[in-house]
Amino acid sequence: MSGSVWKKPDEVMRQMRDKKKALQARFSHASTTTATNNLDNDEALAPTSSSSATASVKRKNPFRRSPAKRPKLLTVTQDDQRNASANVDFMSMLNAPNVKADTNKELAVELPQALSIFTAVTPVCQKVDQCPVDWSLKTRVRFTSKSPFAFSSTLKTSEEASGITGFVRCVSSLKSDEWSTLDTSTNAQFHQCCLLWQYPWLPWLSLFPRDTRAPITSTSSVQIGMDSSVSNCLINDWCESFRSLFGLLRARQCPFFYVCTHQFTVLFRAAGIGGVAEIHALLTPTTRGMREVLRREDISYSMPLKKSGQDQTNPVNNDEDDETKEADKVGDLDDEDCDEDDADWINDIGLHSNLRSKLEAERLQDGGQGTSQGTYADSLLLIEGVETQGLFNWLLNSKLCLSSTGPLTGIPPTLFSPVAFHQATLRPLKARQGFLKQDGENLYSIEVQGPILPHSMVSLMKLLQSSDFTAVWTTLSSTKPFASFQSSTAATSAFGKESLSDCGLDRTSLDLFCSSQLPPSASEIRFQDGCFYFN
């Protein structure tokens, strides 16, 4: 083995020391470069020793801001801040309460006036112990509950029979002492709540709500109004039914009933109902032409819901009132002169009397000069006492109650009542039970459709009070003013209870119908913990 392959220990140690020195020199060069860069980026440098200053050379930072431009930039920044504080936008106002405050002090943040609407996020619900009677007609109501209902829309034979018997005889199915053979189940009670009396009833026509503009579904169907014999028979039967129902109302054997025509609705109520001490009727909507016809028939009425805000806010002197009355009288005389001129002109041209009456009826149906008030509630009429008999006679003989066009031509108005009368038809409401999902929660629901009268709503509310529920309904818009009427001279409910003991309502429901309390103007009601909440 040659001697050049072997190395002496001194040579090996010398090579290791050389490698170590080279590695240390490389590390020291890297640390010097890092320190130089840190000194360039720092704005305020600490004084260093002369040895370190000479060892590292300071490199100029090309991105450093010139000191000469600093005051100018500060001035521009302050101006921008002042302009921004003067023109605060909506988002900055929203972010203002999120500023971090001192932890030792709790500062009360006050929202500006523009953001005061956010303080009332949750609506205030009206709470009542008993649900007052809503006199408007409902077309549909839906009840929802988290727990299943105690009744079902599918009925047995005994349940249907007991419900019909209890409704026709005006006997509650819970009074088993009087009628021990009646079924007292909740299904029988539910069926009894969904019944009413109606005349006329024609299965192929929709008589509620009445819409003369509805198209005829079948071209081969013959309208009743085209056949005079059929139309006259139907009108004669309707007059007998109307007389029977009005006689029951005067004898206080019927609490109320509705007369629904194609252009207005009349609610007749017995003495004591709604806190009114005498028999009365409510009519809505009305037009100037219709009110003119009532005045010609010497039917006195009042408009209890007519707005008189201007008279209350701006009182007028008596002289000005007299001048206004005189101006109104002059205007009425001018209108009468115009009407007389029109009548003379029609007579001169020899127009047939039947055609004249038809034109006058169409003019009144269209509103004549239009309604004097802007909404249905403003045109509500109240007829009380003896004047109700005059309204009854006018409805029997007036041609305004009959439609002259459309599929309902020649068909008399629809009568709805909670008690039986001559030639009435017993009609059930359509009930459908199912499930729905709301806000990710499964709910039990039952929907009732049809002309829902106040007695049905009160009975359904009482039947559902065994558990919490929510009710949402749809109201016939033309009958909403009925729920807003309240008599100024309300009688006590004791008078109504004693005089209406045989009207067909049970004692607990009679207290509500004789009360003059107004229901809240809401389309949703929630029953929870024994109280009603209106939204």
- pLDDT tens sequence across 399-425: 889 988 888 888 999 999 999 999 999
As a whole number of angstroms, the distance between CA 532 and CA 336 comes to 53
Q: Is residue 473 part of a domain?
A: yes
Q: Confidence class of residue 43 from pLDDT cuts 50, 70 and 90?
A: very low
3-class DSSP state of 486: coil
- Burial per residue of 99-136, b for 16 or more beta-carbon CB atoms within 10 angstroms, e otherwise: eeeeeeeeeeeeeeeeeeeeeeeeeeeeeeeebbbbbb
Q: Is residue 497 part of a domain?
A: yes
Domain count within the chain:
1
Whose tokens are 């539910």? That residue is 190
pLDDT for 17-33, tens place per residue? 898 888 888 877 766 66
User: Whole-model pTM above 0.75?
Assistant: no
pLDDT at 73 over 60: no
Range of the domain at 198: 127-212+228-307+349-534
Specify the pLDDT at position 268. 98
φ/ψ of residue 382, rounded to 5? -120, 120
Q: Confidence class of residue 506 from pLDDT cuts 50, 70 and 90?
A: confident
Specify the pLDDT at position 32. 67
The alpha carbon dihedral of 228, 234, 236, 239 has a sign of: negative
Specify the pLDDT at position 75. 57
pLDDT for 290-305, tens place per residue? 999 999 999 999 999 9
pLDDT at 122 over 60: no
The Cβ-side half-sphere exposure at 489, using a 13 Å CA radius, reads: 4
Specify the pLDDT at position 313. 33
32, 69, 73, 183, 230 from 79: Cα distances, Å: 44, 16, 10, 86, 90
Q: Is residue 287 part of a domain?
A: yes
Q: Is residue 54 part of a domain?
A: no
Q: Is residue 99 part of a domain?
A: no
pLDDT at 58 over 70: no
As a whole number of angstroms, the distance between CA 140 and CA 431 comes to 10
Task: Read off the tokens for 390.
Answer: 């005059």
As a whole number of angstroms, the distance between CA 167 and CA 152 comes to 18
* Residues sharing a CB contact under 8 Å with residue 497, sequence separation 6 or more, in sequence order: 272, 507, 510, 511, 514
**Average pLDDT of 497-505?**
84
Q: Is residue 111 part of a domain?
A: no
Maximum average pLDDT range among 7-16, 189-198, 404-413: 189-198
Q: Is residue 150 part of a domain?
A: yes
Specify the pLDDT at position 343. 54
The alpha carbon dihedral of 405, 372, 374, 392 has a sign of: negative
φ/ψ of residue 485, rounded to 5? -85, 135
Q: Is residue 330 part of a domain?
A: no
pLDDT at 376 over 50: yes
pLDDT at 396 over 70: yes
pLDDT at 326 over 60: no
